[in-house]
Chains A and B, each alone.
Chain A
Amino acid sequence: MIDDFFIRALLAGIGLAFIAGPLGCFVIWRRMAYFGDTMAHSALLGVALSLAFQVDVLWGVFAVSMLVALALLALQAKGNPSARLFSSDALLGILSHSALALGLVVVSLMSWLRLDIMGFLVGDVLSVSNRDLLMIYGGGTLVLVCLAWIWRSLLMATVSEDIAEAEGLAPRRAELVLMLLLAVTIAIAIKIVGVLLITALLIIPAAAARRFSATPEQMAALAIVAGIAAVVGGLFGSLQFDTPSGPSIVVAALMVFLVSLALPLKAKEN
Chain B
Amino acid sequence: MSLWITGTQVDNEETLGNLPVLQKNETLINLKGVGVYRAGRWLVRGVDLSVRAGEIVTIIGPNGSGKTTTAKMAIGVTRPDEGQVVRARNLRIGYVPQKLSINAAMPLTVRGLLMLSGKQNSSDIDETLDMVGVLRLANAQVHFLSGGEFQRVLFARALLGKPQLLVLDEPVDGVDFSGSLELYQLISKIRDTTGCGVLLISHDLHVVMAQTDTVICLNSHVCCRGTPELVAENPEYLKLFGKGAAQDLAIYKHHHDHTHLADGTVVHTSVEHTDEGHEGCDHD
Contacts and interface: CB of A to CB of B under 8 A. Distances in A.
A216 interface: yes
Contacts of A160: 97, 100
A159 interface: yes
B100 A210 contact: no
Interface of B: 39, 72, 75-77, 92-95, 97, 100, 102-103, 105-109, 112-113, 116-117, 141, 144, 161, 167
Given A156-B117, A216-B112, A270-B141, 20 more contacts: A25-B106, A29-B103, A31-B103, A152-B116, A159-B100, A159-B106, A159-B116, A160-B100, A162-B75, A162-B95, A163-B95, A163-B97, A166-B76, A166-B93, A166-B167, A207-B105, A216-B106, A218-B107, A219-B107, A270-B144
A246 B49 CA distance: 59
A111 B163 CA distance: 63
Given A159-B100, A159-B102, A215-B112, A165 B77 contact: yes
A162 B103 contact: no
B142 to A, nearest CB: 9
A231 to B, nearest CB: 22
Closest 10 CB pairs of A and B: A166-B95, A166-B75, A29-B106, A213-B107, A156-B116, A165-B77, A28-B105, A162-B77, A166-B93, A162-B97
A162 B169 CA distance: 12
State the majority secondary structure of interface residues on A. Answer: helix
Contacts, number: 69
Most chain B CB neighbours (cut-off 10 Å) among A160, A165, A216: A160
A158 B106 contact: yes
Given A84-B39, A155-B116, A216-B108, A167 B103 contact: no
A214 interface: yes
Interface string A180-214: 00000000000000000000000000010010011
Contacts of B113: 159
A210 B108 contact: no
Interface residues of A, number: 27
12 contacts: A29-B103, A30-B103, A155-B116, A162-B75, A163-B95, A165-B76, A166-B76, A167-B161, A210-B105, A214-B109, A218-B107, A219-B107
Pick from B39, B77, B116, B167 the residue with the most CB of A within 10 Å: B116
Contacts of B105: 28-29, 207, 210
Contacts of A213: 107
Contacts of B112: 215-216
A87 B78 CA distance: 21
Interface in A160-175: 160, 162-163, 165-168
Contacts of A163: 95, 97, 100
B20 to A, nearest CB: 16
Nearest to A215: B112
Contacts of B107: 210, 213-216, 218-219, 270
Contacts of A28: 103, 105-106
Interface in A66-118: 84
Interface string A25-41: 10011110000000000
Contacts of B103: 28-31, 158
